[in-house]
Structure 1
Amino acid sequence: MKLSKRSTDQAQKTGSRYFLWDEELIGFGMRVEASGRKTFICRYRSGGVRRQYTVGRFGTITVDQARGEARRVLGSVSLGNDPSAAKQARRSVLLFRDLVNSFLEGHGPKLKPGSRKDYASALIGHAVPAIGNLAINAITPADLNRLHLKLADRPYRANRVLSYVGSVFSWAQRNGLAEKGFNPAADVQRFKEPSRERYLTQGEIRRLGEVLRQAETTGLPWEIKAVGTSAKHVAKSNQVEVYPSHVTGAVRLLLLTGCRLREILDLRWQDVDLDRGFLWLPDSKTGKRPVLISAATTEVLRTIPRFGTCVVPGANPDMPRHDLKKPWSHIRRLANLEDVRLHDLRHTHASIGAGAGLGLPIVGGLLGHKSTQTTQRYAHLADDPLRRAAERIGDELNRALRQGE
């Protein structure tokens, strides 16, 4: 057949790989994988050996663009060249450090800022120093295993570095910079990661509530550990720090809503609907979604002053606060919760719901898990079990936070 947009659109997956060949340009065709993925190719002979050249993936390039590239490739063959061999030669001299740069430039903009920063930190900080000077087709699983073992004292980080290297090779395959199926990271065994989940007990939630109230009223005392003539700070009597209500409120919101840190820090007042009891998250980890809020959450939001567009503003009230590292470190130390991360407040929210017998699908719906995306539509939430669940969790947590007032 003649390959056209219509014929390529209509090509369906059949459970096994097959090819469609163009009747107009001999050698030009499309490979349809068992998964349904469609790739334009062209075949030719060079020195009596059949060669196959990958032109590009359907959707990334159009049929007309692929046909034009195939004409160029086949024209080069008629002049005695071997484009496939030349492409392989270019791959053989591509160094891993250059591939990483290409990956961060070509794929980085598609990642969220935090993810892109972590990719760059892992790849440039760990992978490039170890294997950056190797040609990508010369990198072996043994090379990556040595890199992996260097980070054995940090198994979680070691696994992330290996995963990011694997992503680089997968991207290289999709963009014709590496042979299909070549990914040495896939054959390296990962470390077993210790569980990172931590749930606060009722007593710990109560202590946290007491410290938060102290932080926004009388202030939290600082303990100056440095001593001697070289100390930059001199201990003073009654040295305390009072935290603004948008900081202590942010901690309460993390616990009461089960939202992720950046979902709360990036929250803007325009996305808060107190009358109907919703937070609208335009760009959460799982996409745009509403978050049902309890009466306790509404009360916290009403106590936070509005002097900018952001609920938790930074120095510029129209820009979100960068993080909560300093205040949280201070708060958790005085609450004797030094092993608790901010993300553990989300785990605690979920554990309260699960422990109350609300069911995992309901809790997952409140947290915005992908498996319950159908429950996130506004029209179905007015009298949904999710709203009752949000109220129940909020009341339970609020009682613990306010105990002792």
Structure 2
Amino acid sequence: MATIKITAAAVSGIMEGARPNKTTYYFDDDLTGFGLYRTTGNTGTYFAEYRPVAGGAKKRLKLGRVGTLKANEAREAARKAIANAALGKDLVKERADERASGTVRQLVADYISEKEMKESTRAFYKITLAKHIEPQMGTTKGVALTRVDVQRAHSAMSKKAKYSANRAMALLSAAFVWGAKRGYVPEGVNPAAKIDRNKEEARERFLSAGEMARLGDAMREAETIGIPHKSSESKHAPKEKNRTVYGPHVTGAIRLLMLTGCRLREILNLRWSEYDEKRGLLLLPDSKTGRKTVVLSAAAQAVLDALPRVGKFVIAGHSAATEHEAPRADLKKPWAAIAGRAGLGDVHLHDLRHTFASVGAGDGMSLPIIGKLLGHADAGTTQRYAHLHVDPVRAAADAIAGKIADAIGGK
């Protein structure tokens, strides 16, 4: 162990000298506790040594490598570390705690797996974690994450998906609140709180009668001769390339979305056992708002009755009738093709639900009746009696679905 004045010139001389046969330590003759060591591999590292106020053995805090950190920068870092120790702040312990703590990805993943929530919500959260949170800050320690880090991550996410970025912030904030209660992060620490989020505007897109007619034509084309693939922009390419025919379960799902006002997952997760043919009802055990009874119109029942029964799900997926059968994941690609063919590229599948409601509202039907048809949460207290009180609701369902069925040509 040698005592020297640690300066840039002195450090340069040490590192250029013959390699030591064992790790050699050098302490500064001005700032007690500041030093550097050189290993047999010729690596130099600055450090600060101090004794915690609470007592115990001396602790050594690595400040950085020689070459990465300048001598004067290392001196200032050592001065702060030693001063903090004198005030009772143990940086070595804090760093050890930080390393021992979980990452942001672990914190959010634990929240998703352990928190009681609907399985559909859990699935959505897993996607949000994988697509948005993990790429931006997944490897950052939970206790080290700052509000600045989160705001920057939100800005980066917003360039691709503004609304999804907001959903990611809500998930991250909830995970920190949950984690604080379990000691995973310090109490009161929530870097996702008060983040400036993107302004959201409610979507009001619904189909006109003419647009519904075009969609009906596109669906019939899809299930018969097929939707043509997009042609190449090359002048030598054929005008129309191969076509893709979509089976009855794809077009059937779209028709059911239009004729019932149901949410996408309510239709894709629908089982044949939940279809009461005699009473014309769908008895959903779980939806966004809990148990739900859907009163079916004659047009909607006609679509259901025409669908081939393959497996336990009404809308058969790739694993239909197999041992590990699962509901269809989504309708993104077929919907994009069919909607594009109908000239409705700006229409989302959820807009079909808005269309169902708008047709009813346009015909002067009461909002409570429309709310009951859609299964809105504020009508939940009357949902349990739907099977006893379906006549006026069925009349409304028939009126709405009848108009839509006429527009798309029925089936």
Aligned counterpart, 1:145: 151
1:182 alignment partner, one of 181, 186, 189: 189
C-alpha contact (below 8 Å) 2:215/2:408 kept by paired residues: yes
C-alpha contact (below 8 Å) 1:289/1:368 kept by paired residues: yes
Aligned counterpart, 2:219: 212
C-alpha contact (below 8 Å) 1:261/1:342 kept by paired residues: yes
Aligned equivalents of 1:353, 1:292: Cα separation in 2: 15
Aligned counterpart, 1:200: 207
C-alpha contact (below 8 Å) 1:212/1:331 kept by paired residues: yes
C-alpha contact (below 8 Å) 1:96/1:133 kept by paired residues: no
C-alpha contact (below 8 Å) 1:95/1:133 kept by paired residues: no
Aligned counterpart, 2:172: 165
132-141 or 186-195, which deviates more:
132-141
Q: Is 2:342 the counterpart of 1:339?
A: no
- Kindly provide the CA deviation profile for residues 301-347 of structure 1, in whole angstroms up to 9, marking residues without a partner as x: 11112232221112332333222222212111110001111111111
Aligned counterpart, 1:101: 106
Q: Is 2:400 the counterpart of 1:393?
A: yes
Aligned equivalents of 1:102, 1:134: Cα separation in 2: 11
Aligned equivalents of 1:128, 1:239: Cα separation in 2: 39
C-alpha contact (below 8 Å) 1:94/1:136 kept by paired residues: no
| Structure 1 residue 371 displacement after superposition | 1.0
Task: Determine helix, strand or coil for the equivalent of 1:357.
Answer: coil
Pairing 1:262-301 to 2, within 5 Å after superposition = 262-301=265-304
C-alpha contact (below 8 Å) 2:222/2:244 kept by paired residues: yes
| Structure 1 residue 295 displacement after superposition | 0.6
Instruction: Could you list the structure 1 runs, at least 4 aligned residues long, displaced by more than 6 angstroms after superposition.
Output: 88-91
- Kindly provide the CA deviation profile for residues 38-75 of structure 1, in whole angstroms up to 9, marking residues without a partner as x: xxxxxxxxx9xxxxxxxxxxxxxxxxxxxxxxxxxxxx
Aligned equivalents of 1:123, 1:96: Cα separation in 2: 19
Aligned equivalents of 2:207, 2:101: Cα separation in 1: 44
C-alpha contact (below 8 Å) 1:96/1:128 kept by paired residues: no
| Structure 1 residue 299 displacement after superposition | 1.0
Structure 1 pair 99/220, CA: closer, same or farther in 2 (3 Å)? closer
Q: Is 2:337 the counterpart of 1:330?
A: yes
Aligned counterpart, 1:40: none
C-alpha contact (below 8 Å) 1:211/1:335 kept by paired residues: yes
Aligned counterpart, 1:3: none
Q: Is 2:314 the counterpart of 1:314?
A: no
Aligned counterpart, 1:8: none
| Structure 1 residue 277 displacement after superposition | 1.0
> Which ranges in structure 2 are unaligned for 5 or more consecutive residues?
1-53, 55-89
C-alpha contact (below 8 Å) 2:173/2:193 kept by paired residues: yes
Task: Determine helix, strand or coil for the equivalent of 2:316.
Answer: coil
Aligned equivalents of 2:230, 2:146: Cα separation in 1: 51
| Structure 1 residue 281 displacement after superposition | 1.3
| Structure 1 residue 193 displacement after superposition | 1.8
Structure 1 pair 264/235, CA: closer, same or farther in 2 (3 Å)? farther
Aligned equivalents of 2:182, 2:295: Cα separation in 1: 42
| Structure 1 residue 102 displacement after superposition | 4.1
Aligned equivalents of 2:119, 2:390: Cα separation in 1: 36
C-alpha contact (below 8 Å) 1:365/1:376 kept by paired residues: yes
Aligned counterpart, 2:356: 349
| Structure 1 residue 96 displacement after superposition | 7.6
1:259 alignment partner, one of 257, 262, 267: 262
Structure 2: which amino acid aligns with 1:279?
Answer: L
Task: Determine helix, strand or coil for the equivalent of 2:399.
Answer: helix
Structure 1: which amino acid aligns with 2:110?
Answer: E
Task: Determine helix, strand or coil for the equivalent of 2:286.
Answer: strand
Root-mean-square deviation (Å): 3.1
Pairing 1:234-245 to 2, within 5 Å after superposition = 239-245=242-248
Structure 1: which amino acid aligns with 2:335?
Answer: W
| Structure 1 residue 366 displacement after superposition | 1.4
Aligned counterpart, 1:247: 250
| Structure 1 residue 382 displacement after superposition | 3.1
Aligned equivalents of 1:128, 1:316: Cα separation in 2: 30
Larger Rg: 2
| Structure 1 residue 132 displacement after superposition | 4.3
Aligned equivalents of 2:148, 2:124: Cα separation in 1: 24
Aligned equivalents of 1:187, 1:283: Cα separation in 2: 33
C-alpha contact (below 8 Å) 1:97/1:132 kept by paired residues: no
Task: Determine helix, strand or coil for the equivalent of 1:291.
Answer: strand
Aligned counterpart, 2:122: 116
Aligned equivalents of 2:380, 2:96: Cα separation in 1: 42
Q: Is 2:376 the counterpart of 1:382?
A: no
Structure 1 pair 314/133, CA: closer, same or farther in 2 (3 Å)? closer
Aligned counterpart, 1:366: 373
Aligned equivalents of 1:398, 1:355: Cα separation in 2: 16
**How high is the TM-score relative to the length of structure 1?**
0.69
C-alpha contact (below 8 Å) 2:231/2:240 kept by paired residues: no
| Structure 1 residue 90 displacement after superposition | 9.9
Pairing 1:25-104 to 2, within 5 Å after superposition = 93=98, 98-104=103-109
Structure 1 pair 95/394, CA: closer, same or farther in 2 (3 Å)? farther
Structure 2: which amino acid aligns with 1:108?
Answer: S
Aligned counterpart, 2:231: 224
**How high is the TM-score relative to the length of structure 2?**
0.68
